[in-house]
Structure 1
Amino acid sequence: MLISLAVDYRHANVATRERFHLSDARIAKLYAREPNSVIRELVCVSTCNRSEIYAWAGGADPATPAGFDHAITALARAWMGSKTEARALLAVAKKRGGLDVARRILRISSGLDSQVMGDGQILGQLRESYRQADAAGTAGSVLHRLFDTAMRTGKRVAAETGLHAGRRSVGAEAAAHAHQRFGNLAHARVVVVGCGKTGQSVARQLQKLGARDIVLINRSMPRALTLADEVGGRAAPYEALHVEVAMSDVAIAATAASEPVVMYQQLRTARENCGTATYPLLLLDLSMPRNVDPALGGVPGVTIADLDALHIPVLAAEELRKAAVPAAEALVEAELESFVEWVSAAAAREAIRPLAEALTEICRRELTFAAGDEVAEHATSRIVAKLLARPMTKLRTAVAHGEALHAFTMTLDSLFAGPAPVPVKAPRAKRRAP
C-alpha cells in the first residue's frame, strides 16, 4: 500500500517546517537504512515549502487501520530517528494512504498543490528527488511507476493548460513583492544571496521589473559571475555578504544552507559601520530552513518577509490561473486512473505469482522432457497465460473494488512458493520365496 507523511505550508508554519525539514543529512540517513518488511520503497521530497516521504508499505496488511498506523509510525520513526521525535512529527504531519497518496503527488507535479499555483520549479525538484532515491536504490517498481506518472502529468498540464501562465515560482513572486514595495526598482540596490535555481529566478525577474543595481553573492564565485553577466549585475565575494546587504535596499536570501547566513550581530555592525543603521531594508527569506536570522525583525528599519508572509500576495496572483484548474484536474484524474489500473494489475500479479511460478516450472520441465527446450519455452508461456487469465481478471476486479489480497497471497505463497517437493516412492514389496 502507498503511504505518505507530509509537513507543508498548508498546515505548518515556517518554524514547524524548519524543525522537521528533510535536510540532506536526514535524507542520506533514510536512504542508508536497512530495508525491512514494513517500509519496502522510499522517496523523500524536500522543497522550500514541504518535506514529504512517499513509501510503499508491506508487512501486516497496511490496508487495515491497524496496519496503516503501524506503517505510518515506522515511517515517522525512520524520519526522525527516535520515538519521542516521531510522536512530535505525527502530531503535525499530514498522513495519507492509498489513492490519496497518488493523487497528492500528481497534484504537486502539476502545480495544483504548490504555494504558487503552477509553480514552474516544482517539477524539476520532484525529478531531482526521484533521481536521488533511484541512485540510492530505495525506489522500487511501484514508486518508479508513481513518479514516472507524476512527471508525465506535470508536463501535460504545462503543455495542455494555462495553469503555468504568468509568474509561477517563489523567486518570481519575491521579485514582484519587492517591486510592489518600492514601486520602482530602477534606483534600488538589490542583493541576491544564493545563485541556485531560486536565486536565478529572482535575479531574472528583478531585471525584467527594472532593477539595474543587482548584486549576486554565492559561495561559488563562478556561478555568481555567470548570473551577473546574464542580468547585467555584479558579483561580490561571499565574505562581503553583510556589508553588501547593509548597503542595499532589498536583500533576497535563497541558499541551501542549513542555518542562517544573514546574521543578527554581523548585519547590525555592518549597518552601523556603513552609516545605514536607520535606512529601511527589506529582507526576503525564500529558504527552508530560514537563511535570515529571525532576530533581525526587531532591528529598526528592517522588515523580514519569509515564505509564510509571501503566501498572502501569492493568493492574489493565483486568481489569474484559476480558470485553468478544471482542465488541469481532469488531466490529473486521467493519469491517476492509469496508475490505479497498473497497481491493480501489479497487485494481482504479485498475489498470483507463487502459482504462476509453480505452473511455469512444471510445464517447462515436463514439456522439455517430451518435446525439447525450444518447444517447451513457447508452449509453457502460452499454457500458463491461458490457465491464469481468469484468476487474474478476478483478482484485478477485487483490487479495483478495494478488497485486500493479503490473505490470498499468503495462502498461495505457502502452497506454491519454494522448490517443488520431490515425490517419495513407496518401497517395493518383497517377493515371497516360492
Structure 2
Amino acid sequence: MTLLALGINHKTADVAVREQVAFTPEQLEAALAQLKALPVVDEAAVLSTCNRTELYCVIQSQGERPLLEWLGGFHGLPVESLMRCAYHYLDDAAARHLMRVASGLDSMVLGEPQILGQIKDAYQQARQVKGLGGELERLFQHTFAVAKQVRTETGIGENPVSVAYAAVSLASRIFDDFSRSRALLVGAGETIELVARHLHEAGVRELTVANRTRERAEQLAGEFGAEAIALGEIPRALEQADIVITSTAAPLPILGKGMVERALKVRRHRPIFMVDIAVPRDIEPQVGELDDVFLYTVDNLHEVIEENRRHRQVAARQAEELIDQGVGQWLHERRVRGAGDLIRRYREQGEAQRQAAEAQALAQLARGGDPEKVLRRLSQQLTNRLLHGPTLRLREASGAERHDLIQAAESLLLDPAAPSQDPE
C-alpha cells in the first residue's frame, strides 16, 4: 500500500495547460468514481483549484503512470504532454506535500487562507462518494490539525493576502482614484466575494455582480450595495465597466473578443482593466489583443505575490518546522497502525490453530479417550503448531545469513523473564 500525491500546478504549467486538466464541480463526482474504480487505486481524493489539480490516492504499487493515463483520458490529453509538467510524491513526501499545500506554503500567494477551505471541500466530496478509506481519512484529519497549528502559531496568516487581493492591488496601480471607477465582477464564489470586499474597501463607487444564478448574485451584491445581474446581461454592464474581474467554474469562456469589441465602441474606446482569475479561463485570450484592453490572468500576478512572499518568509520557515513535526507524528502513527495490523493477523492465526487443536481434543474425549493423555497431546500439538512456522523461517534465515532477521527474532520471540527449562 503506497500513498501517492500526483498533480500539476502553477509552478509546473501555465494557465493554458492547467485549465485543460481542471475539473468543474459537475465533473468531480464522476471523476472520483472513475478514479476509485481503477484496479490499482484503493482510496482517492481530487483537489482542483485555479492553481492546481492534484490526485491523492492510496495505490497498490508505486507506479504513477496509470493515474496519469486516467487523467489524460478523462480530459482528452496525451499522457506524454502531462508527464512534462506533472509531479508526484510517495508516502511521507506525499503527506508533507499535502500539509504544505493546506498551510499555504505551496500557493502562488504564500500563506493564502483559501486553499485550506478548498482542501476541506475536496475531502468532503471524496467522503460523499466513498473514495476515502482509513489511510486518507487519517491523513486529511492530521493535515487539518497541522494547518490549524500553522495558522495559530506563526504569522503566516497575518495581513491576509490572496489572489483576489493581488488582483485589486494590481488595479490600484492603474487607477489612481477608485472612487471614479465602475467594476464588473463575474462569479459569486469565495474569490469574487474577497474581490468585492477589497474593491469596496478601496472606494470603488459602483459594483456589479454577474452570476449564473441570479439569487446568489443578489445575495453577494446585497452585502456591498452592488447591482446583481444574470450572465446574459454582461454585454450591457461591460459598456460601463472600467474594471472587470472574473472567477467562475464555467468550462468555456464567458467573455469573448466580439463582446468586448462592441463594448469598447460604446465606451468610445475608454480602456478596460481585466483580470481573469478562473481556470479554465472566463475571458478569451484573444481579448488581450485589443488595443484598449489590459488583460491579466492569474499567472500575471507574480509581482504583487512576490512582494507578499518576501514579507512572509520568516513565518514560512516556522511553518516548515511545524510541518516537519506533523509529518513525523503522522509517520509514527502510521507505523504503529501497521504493527497493529500485523499483531491482529498474528493473533488470528494463533486463535485458528488453538481452535483446531481444541476441536481435535474434544473429539478424542467424546470417543472416550483418557483425559490426561488427551491434555498432554493437546499441549504438545498446540506448541508444535505455534512454533513450526517461526522455527522453519529461522532456519532459512540462518542458511541465508540473514543476521538481521535472527537478531530481530531474538528480540521478538524470547522473553528474558521467562523461566528456563533446567535439565533434571
Is the pair's TM-score, using the shorter chain for normalization, greater than 0.5? yes
CA contact (8 A) 1:247 1:276 kept: yes
* 3-state SS of paired residue (1:151): helix
Question: Which residue in 2 is equivalent to 1:204?
Answer: 197
* 3-state SS of paired residue (2:8): strand
Question: Which residue in 1 is equivalent to 2:18?
Answer: 17
Question: Which residue in 1 is equivalent to 2:273?
Answer: 282
CA distance in 2, matches of 1:236, 1:252: 15
The one-letter code sitting in structure 2 at the alignment partner of 1:3 is: L
CA contact (8 A) 2:29 2:125 kept: no
CA contact (8 A) 1:212 1:232 kept: no
Question: Which residue in 2 is equivalent to 1:122?
Answer: 115
Question: Which residue in 2 is equivalent to 1:35?
Answer: 37
* 3-state SS of paired residue (1:43): strand
Question: Which residue in 1 is equivalent to 2:418?
Answer: none
Question: Which residue in 2 is equivalent to 1:238?
Answer: 231
| Superposition TM-score, scaled by structure 1 size | 0.78
Superposition pairs of residues 134-213 of structure 1, within 5 angstroms: 134-213=127-206
Write out per-residue CA displacement over residues 124-178 of structure 1, whole angstroms, 9 at most, x where no aligned residue: 0000001101111111111111111111111111111110111322112212221
| Superposition TM-score, scaled by structure 2 size | 0.79
* 3-state SS of paired residue (2:7): strand
CA distance in 2, matches of 1:116, 1:196: 18
Change (3 A) 1:367 1:157: farther
CA contact (8 A) 1:23 1:258 kept: yes
Write out per-residue CA displacement over residues 318-364 of structure 1, whole angstroms, 9 at most, x where no aligned residue: 22222211221111111111111122223333455532322244557
Question: Which residue in 1 is equivalent to 2:71?
Answer: 79
CA distance in 1, matches of 2:358, 2:27: 53
The one-letter code sitting in structure 2 at the alignment partner of 1:212 is: R
The one-letter code sitting in structure 1 at the alignment partner of 2:314 is: A
Structure 2: runs of 5+ lacking an equivalent? 363-385, 391-424
Question: Which residue in 1 is equivalent to 2:284?
Answer: 293
The one-letter code sitting in structure 2 at the alignment partner of 1:287 is: A
CA contact (8 A) 1:30 1:79 kept: no
CA distance in 2, matches of 1:262, 1:90: 31
Question: Which residue in 2 is equivalent to 1:101?
Answer: 94
1:42 deviation in Å?
Answer: 0.8
Q: 2:335 aligns with which of 344, 354, 360?
A: 344
The one-letter code sitting in structure 2 at the alignment partner of 1:39 is: V
Greater shift after overlay, 119-128 or 319-328? 319-328
* 3-state SS of paired residue (2:151): helix
Change (3 A) 1:235 1:349: same
Is 1:5 the counterpart of 2:6? The answer is: yes
* 3-state SS of paired residue (1:186): helix
Computing the radius of gyration over CA atoms, which structure comes out larger, 1 or 2? 2
Write out per-residue CA displacement over residues 370-390 of structure 1, whole angstroms, 9 at most, x where no aligned residue: 9xxxxxxxxxxxxxxxx9xxx
Question: Which residue in 1 is equivalent to 2:371?
Answer: none
Question: Which residue in 1 is equivalent to 2:320?
Answer: 329
Change (3 A) 1:242 1:356: farther
* 3-state SS of paired residue (1:81): helix
* 3-state SS of paired residue (2:174): helix
CA contact (8 A) 1:20 1:89 kept: no
The one-letter code sitting in structure 2 at the alignment partner of 1:16 is: V
* 3-state SS of paired residue (2:22): coil
CA contact (8 A) 2:209 2:229 kept: yes
CA distance in 2, matches of 1:45, 1:318: 23
CA distance in 2, matches of 1:184, 1:124: 33
CA contact (8 A) 1:39 1:74 kept: no
The one-letter code sitting in structure 2 at the alignment partner of 1:205 is: H
CA distance in 1, matches of 2:358, 2:138: 36
Q: 1:50 aligns with which of 46, 52, 61?
A: 52
Greater shift after overlay, 356-365 or 121-130? 356-365
CA contact (8 A) 2:186 2:245 kept: yes
Q: 2:309 aligns with which of 303, 318, 321?
A: 318
CA contact (8 A) 1:26 1:79 kept: no
Count of residue correspondences: 360
Change (3 A) 1:311 1:360: farther
CA contact (8 A) 1:268 1:277 kept: no
Change (3 A) 1:74 1:364: same
CA distance in 1, matches of 2:291, 2:188: 28
Is 1:271 the counterpart of 2:264? The answer is: yes
Change (3 A) 1:310 1:360: farther
Structure 1: runs of 5+ lacking an equivalent? 63-67, 371-386, 392-434
* 3-state SS of paired residue (1:211): coil
CA distance in 2, matches of 1:218, 1:226: 11
The one-letter code sitting in structure 2 at the alignment partner of 1:286 is: I
The one-letter code sitting in structure 1 at the alignment partner of 2:12 is: H
Change (3 A) 1:342 1:294: same
CA distance in 2, matches of 1:154, 1:367: 53
Change (3 A) 1:186 1:57: same
1:259 deviation in Å?
Answer: 1.1
